[in-house]
Amino acid sequence: VQLVESGGGLVHAGESLTLSCTTSGIVFRIANMAWYRQAPGEQRELVAVINSVHKTNYADSAKGRFTIYRDNAKKTVYLQMNNLKPEDTGVYFCNTDSPEQLGTWGQGTQVTVSS
């Protein structure tokens, strides 16, 4: 299993980023995929989930600003982040909605939002 996140960077508040996560070793088309964020000194938290039929759910902090979507042909899940805020800063990881079952994490991608 491999999860490879990319697309992070340093942006100013109000700007946008789109994160990508390319996967291998999982049956992507039936997997419920998710994005997680780990802020400095904090535990990893769930940001957004998309299931196999493209139904989505978001953390309250992400609602109205973030969009999770997937491309099953590319085995890739994306996170479009608009109107970024300094509190969105952290390392973003993708995984399934049951990461303990997958048993692995990627390296993540750093998002830093300056005020």
Q: What confidence tens digit (pLDDT) does each residue in 3-30 have?
A: 999 999 999 999 999 999 999 999 999 9
Give the full edge-to-edge strand order of the sheet including 90-96.
Answer: 9-12, 109-114, 90-96, 33-38, 45-50, 56-58
Q: What is the pLDDT of residues 85-100, one digit of tens each?
A: 999 999 999 999 999 9
Band of pLDDT at residue 102, cut at 50, 70 and 90 = confident
Q: What is the pLDDT at residue 43? A: 96
Q: What is the pLDDT of residues 42-72, one digit of tens each?
A: 999 999 999 999 999 999 999 999 999 999 9
Q: Percentages helix, strand, coil for the chain, rounded to the nearest 5?
A: 10, 50, 40
